[in-house]
Every structure is written in C-alpha cells, then in structure tokens.
Amino acid sequence: MKRLLLFAMMCASMSFVFAQKKFDKVSKVTSSEIRWWGYKVVKTEASSHSGTVKLKSGKFNFDKTVLVDGDFVIDMRSLMAGDVSEEDQIKLTNDLKSTNFFEVKKYPVAIFHLTKIIPLANSEYNSTIYGDLTIKGVRKTISFPANAYVTQFTVVIESAKFSLNRRDFKVFYQSSLKDYFIKNEMDIQFKLSTEVLDNENRVPKKKK
C-alpha cells in the first residue's frame, strides 16, 4: 500500500513538472477587437445587423519559443449592436442578451481554446486556425483562415470574416416564427495582439 501511494505521488509530481514546462512562457493579449454580423433571410431595408463584443482575457502558452495553444474568454455581457439608431440599438442589444439568443445572465462568457495554427501557402491568408469554441455551454471544434504572425513570444492574429451556425450553439428563438426569418449563419471577424511577459513576475517587460 505504501509503495502504491509513493508511486502515485511520483506520478503526480511528474505531471506537475510537465505541466509547468508546457506553459513556461505566457503572452497575454493586450489589444483586441471582435465584430459580428447577423442576417435576415428575406431581403429588407434592414436585412442585416452588426456589432461588437469584447474580449475579457486572452493568453498564448509557449514551450520555450514554440506556441503550444491559447485560451480566450469573451465577455458576452459586452455584446452590443452598433448599426441602428440609439433606441433600436438598446432594443436589439437587450434582445440578443436575453433568453431569445445568448442568455448572457446564465452564460456570461464564451470560451475559445486555440489548439493549433497551420501555415497556408499561396493563399490570401497565411494560416488556418483550429480550436474549440464554447457558447451557452455548447462546445464545437471550428477552423477559419487568418493572418497569424508569431515572433518570439509576440502574437498578432487578424482573422478573415468566417461563419458560425448559431443553431449549433442553441442561439435561436424558442418556439417562435420570428426565428425562421433569421439566417442560421452569423459571421465573426477579429484581430488581437500580445505583449511579451516576464513569467517570473507576471508583469509586462519594459520596452528599452
């Protein structure tokens, strides 16, 4: 029994060491912008809407100089429509935050875990980004084209405008005919950049 306990402790210690090594460098996002677009099925004067949502936090994890992955938390409470009058903006924004769509009181954040960046050749964008996106508690693996630049521990990413199926994440009117007038595809586009961190003190390094 003592040997079994000792073996388990050794395994736990080794796992901790490997975990520490995996993320021995961290670079936090210091600048970001996320835009969204939603569309109506029937062409009308107001056939689409657009707006913004803010990144709450974001970081890239490195093993030495090799990018391992990234973790990003999106503040769904910051969701806002931006292409309508002030009165309609408040109405549409509140509707998007309600149980009709993103239900932000119950699901205040969305999470994106970046798993890999694959270089592309002879393309408008130099990379394909893969990751797991969680909205309203539903996780889906997604991919999209982007221009990604990684230099030492500095990362800059500018995505193409790419589509998500809102129904995959249970974003729709419940038992309402209104939902049939809205396209299932919603578009997202973002850009972000980081600042190198001193991992011992967890503060930004001063520029010389």
The string of DSSP letters for 104-164 reads: TTT--EEEEEEEEEEE-SSSSSSEEEEEEEEETTEEEEEEEEEEEEEETTEEEEEEPPEEE
Q: Kindly tell me if the per-residue pLDDT of 72 is higher than 90.
A: yes
Say if 119 falls within a structural domain.
yes
Say if 109 falls within a structural domain.
yes
Say if 158 falls within a structural domain.
yes
CA distance 22 to 57: 20
Work out the mean pLDDT of the chain and round it to a whole number: 83
pTM (two decimals): 0.79
Which residues are bridge partners to 150 per DSSP? 155
Q: Kindly tell me if the per-residue pLDDT of 21 is higher than 50.
A: no
Say if 16 falls within a structural domain.
no
**Structural domain range at position 66:** 25-196
CA distance 92 to 68: 39
Q: Domain count for the chain, please give it.
A: 1
205 vs 86: which has the higher pLDDT: 86
* Half-sphere exposure of residue 41: CA atoms within 13 angstroms, side-chain side: 8
Say if 11 falls within a structural domain.
no
What percentage of the chain exceeds 70 in pLDDT? 77
Q: Kindly tell me if the per-residue pLDDT of 106 is higher than 50.
A: yes
Out of 9-13, 43-47, 113-117, 119-123, the most confident range is 113-117
Report the CATH number at residue 167. Answer: 2.40.128.110
Q: What is the pLDDT of residue 196?
A: 56
* Cβ proximity of 188 and 165 under 8 Å: no
Say if 32 falls within a structural domain.
yes
Question: What kind and span of H or E run contains 38?
Answer: strand 25-40
Q: Kindly tell me if the per-residue pLDDT of 44 is higher than 90.
A: no
Q: Kindly tell me if the per-residue pLDDT of 195 is higher than 80.
A: no
**Of 26-35, 52-61, 65-74, 84-93, minimum mean pLDDT range:** 84-93
Tell me the two tokens of residue 61. 């994890």
Say if 202 falls within a structural domain.
no
Residue of 197, 200, 192 whose CA lies nearest to 152: 197
Say if 108 falls within a structural domain.
yes
